[in-house]
Amino acid sequence: MRRYLPYIYGLQGEGSFPAFSIAIYDAYCAATGREPTHPNRDFALRPYIHYAGVPGTIEWQPYFTVIDDDYFDSDYYRDKIVLVGVTASSMQTDSYLTPASGVQPMYGVEIHANIVANLLSGEGVTPAPPFVSYLFFLLMTGLSLFFGIKFKFVPAKLLTFFLGICAVGGIFLLSLLQFNLFMSIFYTLAAMTLIFLCDVVVGYAEHYLGKQHITNLFGRYMAPEVLAQIIEDGEKNIRLGGEVRHIAVLFVDIRGFTSMSEILPPEQVVAILNEYLTLATEAIFKYAGTLDKYLGDCAMALYNAPRAQEDYCLAAVRSALYMRDRGAELYEGLTERYGRGVRFGIGINAGLAVIGNIGSPMRMDYTAIGDAVNTAARLQGSAEAGQILISGDVYQAVKGLVDVRPLGELKFKGCEAPVETYELIGLRGERGESIHGELQLTPQ
């Protein structure tokens, strides 16, 4: 019902002979001296039937008008091809659904009439050569893959998929209506749809795995609410591989840890160390800092990385004061239980550093490197028990908000220039008085 059937193959080796419509066409050409043009016998290249329209489009006459002289008009039939066939509604054995019939079947005689009309007018729809369909398939699927990889957002992928479908449909209609050329687009459309669906599924999987990657990478470094905000921001504030950024760096270390380790049993040393590190981590997370690493009994924290913060130097200062204030309570509790407590020495510096995943392909950590980090470590190393030392850069950032005691310029080992240093005493309230409360910093 879609293509010509040019030849019928006989039974028992009788060979082949033309189909009914072809035989009619050949007879007409023989009667009029016209050279017949036979359709391709190759199965893959058989022409498609170009239907004139819905059933009944080709003119037909009831049979009684032929056998009744009162109705018969010989001039009407002169020089025309007349096909005689069954069109009675009660005879459904020779009626078929065609691409042009919709839900109404078309009688076989009218299907043959459409084929004869195609042969006479040359308007049959010729299948495109297989290599054209293959090239078209490769082109459209290749473009689908290209744009699927290029665009990361689902709306962009959906738009390109829709435009691709429109392009395929437009080319199909152009070739059909303008050139009577039928291109097989089913596999092209199926492949494009499959690529789009797989692309969306892979995109969502990558998005989920990306969230998991960030959670695994930063979950141990920062407070859960900060991590959730980073994931919500779509990693736009994270550049893996390293970037230069101005940050605040805090180092905190236990004073007298070595001597304590020599006196107390190992299990008590571990218990004390865990309580101290828990307090340090709590203070860092409380003010949206990033726990970079533990270095034995020392902890390192970053502020303004990986997520940008407002007043990040003030956040580092508040974390340090929280550690000092809570450290006094911890000291008393540990002394009661173990006979010995711990006190902290803290150093804070601000400056440019390289932050990102640093290491090797086999083992890398998110950290910061640079002179700003080294200076913070030197400040912490010079701080006495219970003392917080800040650099001049940090002081300038929080000036007017804190009470300090100037210590002048200190020369640290490994630093070429002396560092202006201040001892942090406490925070100031709005009226200028010193305060030591829990001032919560809302991450920006």
pLDDT in tens, 7-46: 776 666 567 788 888 899 999 999 999 988 877 777 667 7
Q: Residue 237: its pLDDT value, please?
A: 47
Q: pLDDT (tens digit, 9 = 90+) per residue, 200-239?
A: 888 777 766 666 666 665 655 555 655 565 566 555 545 4
The residues, ordered by sequence, that sit 6+ positions from 291 with a Cβ below 8 Å of its Cβ are: 220, 221, 222, 281, 284, 285, 299, 300, 301
Domain boundaries, the chain: 7-127, 130-215, 239-435
Q: Residue 443: its pLDDT value, please?
A: 38
Tokens of 412: 């640290």
- Intra-chain end-to-end CA distance of the chain, in Å: 69
The residues, ordered by sequence, that sit 6+ positions from 398 with a Cβ below 8 Å of its Cβ are: 313, 314, 317
CATH of the domain spanning 239-435 = 3.30.70.1230
Peptide bond into 306 cis (omega under 30): yes
The upper half-sphere exposure of residue 128, i.e. CA atoms within 13 Å in the direction of its Cβ, equals 20
Tokens of 44: 């893959």
Contact between 401 and 424 under an 8 Å Cβ cutoff? The reply is: no
Distance CA 324, CA 326 (A): 6
The upper half-sphere exposure of residue 303, i.e. CA atoms within 13 Å in the direction of its Cβ, equals 32
Mean pLDDT confidence for 121-136? 80
Query: Where on the phi/psi map is residue 304: left (φ > 0), alpha (ψ -120 to 50), or beta?
Result: left
pLDDT bracket for residue 431 (50, 70, 90): very low
CA dist list (Å): 340 to 241, 272, 343 = 43, 9, 10
Of residues 275 and 13, the one with the higher pLDDT is 275
Of 351, 354, 286, the residue nearest 318 (C-alpha): 286
pLDDT surpasses 90 at 317: yes
Q: Residue 208: its pLDDT value, please?
A: 66
Could you tell me how many residues make up the chain? 444
Q: Give, for 176, the enclosing helix (H) or strand (E).
A: helix 154-179
Distance CA 145, CA 135 (A): 15
Mean pLDDT confidence for 266-294? 89
Of residues 83 and 222, the one with the higher pLDDT is 83
DSSP string, 230-252: HHHTTTTT--TT-EEEEEEEEEE
**pTM of the predicted model as reported, rounded to 2 decimal places:** 0.53
Rg (CA), the chain: 43
Q: pLDDT (tens digit, 9 = 90+) per residue, 377-414?
A: 999 999 999 899 999 999 999 998 999 999 999 888 77
Contact between 119 and 6 under an 8 Å Cβ cutoff? The reply is: no
Q: Residue 293: its pLDDT value, please?
A: 87
Distance CA 268, CA 294 (A): 19
Question: Which of 263-267, 345-349, 418-422 is predicted least confidently?
Answer: 263-267
Distance CA 136, CA 192 (A): 12
Q: Residue 423: its pLDDT value, please?
A: 95
